[in-house]
Amino acid sequence: MRRTLILVPVLGLMLVGSVVGGRFAANARQGTPAAAPIVGVSAALLGTGQPDAAPGHDLGLNRIVFEPGGSIADHHHPGALVVYVESGALTYAVTDGTVDVRRAAQGGTPTPADQLNAGDETVLTAGDSLFEQGVSHNARNDGDEPAVVWVSSVIEGGESFTVFD
């Protein structure tokens, strides 16, 4: 649990380090920008715990904001996630594996799941959700307003939440 509580500050440092490091590297190469794995994305860990139903795993709830132009490069999570889009639009691309996507309920009726496979890309909007496990993917906000995303995760204890490919 302690490692999970450290996740948000570490992610924040990664964000700052990526931006600052990228700027220094760009200056050193005479204006060639460095590719940063996370740009324009902030995360807040809202809660965490160790469920009895999943010994050795951490259950977490995160709120992630993708600013316009924000992105996360190819990565995966060592566990299972449910992602819900609260507002805005998020472009989500699968690079390896399969993801189940549910579009916003219509008239209070849940929609059936659609599958995304490697090479597929979709735009998730408010009310859409997905389930991923063992999937490599990337995400970006191509819109003009922030995309706010909630992520519930079950990750093996001691593992990093995000692993870049």
- Report the CATH number that the domain containing residue 43 is assigned in CATH: 2.60.120.10
- pLDDT for 65-100, tens place per residue? 999 999 999 999 999 999 999 999 999 999 999 999
> In the predicted model, is pLDDT for residue 7 greater than 50?
no
Q: How many domains does the chain have?
A: 1
For the chain, the C-alpha Rg in angstroms (whole number) is 16
- Place 158 in a pLDDT band, splitting at 50, 70 and 90: confident
Domain interval for residue 70? 39-158
Instruction: Output the pLDDT for position 51.
Output: 96
The pTM of the full predicted model, rounded to 2 decimals, is 0.78
69 is a domain residue = yes
141 is a domain residue = yes
Distance (Å, rounded) from C-alpha 72 to C-alpha 51?
A: 28
18 is a domain residue = no
128 is a domain residue = yes
- pLDDT for 110-141, tens place per residue? 899 999 999 999 999 999 999 999 999 999 99
The H-or-E segment that residue 68 falls in is strand 57-76
| Coil vs helix vs strand at 162 | coil
> In the predicted model, is pLDDT for residue 10 greater than 60?
no
> In the predicted model, is pLDDT for residue 3 greater than 60?
no
131 is a domain residue = yes
164 is a domain residue = no
- pLDDT for 15-64, tens place per residue? 433 433 343 333 334 445 556 899 999 999 999 999 999 999 999 999 99
44 is a domain residue = yes
Q: Name the residue type at position 117.
A: N
80 is a domain residue = yes
Instruction: Output the pLDDT for position 97.
Output: 98
